Amino acid sequence: MKFTLDGQEFLAINGGPEFRFTEAVSFLVNCTSQEEVDRLWSKLPEAGGEEQACGWLKDRFGLSWQIIPTVLGELMSDPDPEKAGRVTMAMLQMKKIDIAALQAAYAG
């Protein structure tokens, strides 16, 4: 089955019972706003998916997705190890990533 996500074409093949989805195959979605994070976070686990830690979730088919705001990488790569560490610790407490909470942790 072919499908398109944000202009990128993908091909999905049924590998039968021997080839199941694992976390080894996953999608990373970089989001530019909290609204985009919220929208994807509410849609992907519908009808049987599950939320997981640190921005990860599984859809109803068992495929893993990481829904990450682009600001997370920016904050975590700050040259000040205390700021970056506070952001990392805040993110580790989250399931869905909260940009305002990350920015508050960064500010101290």
Question: Could you give all domains of the chain from N- to C-terminal order, each with its CATH number?
Answer: 21-107 (3.10.180.10)
- Give the integer Cα–Cα distance in Å for 83 and 108: 7
Could you read off the pLDDT of 76-91 as tens digits, one per residue?
999 999 999 999 999 9
Helix (H) / strand (E) element for 82: namely: helix 81-92
Could you read off the pLDDT of 47-56 as tens digits, one per residue?
889 999 999 9
3-class state of residue 28 by DSSP: strand
Least confident of 22-26, 27-31, 39-43, 67-71: 22-26
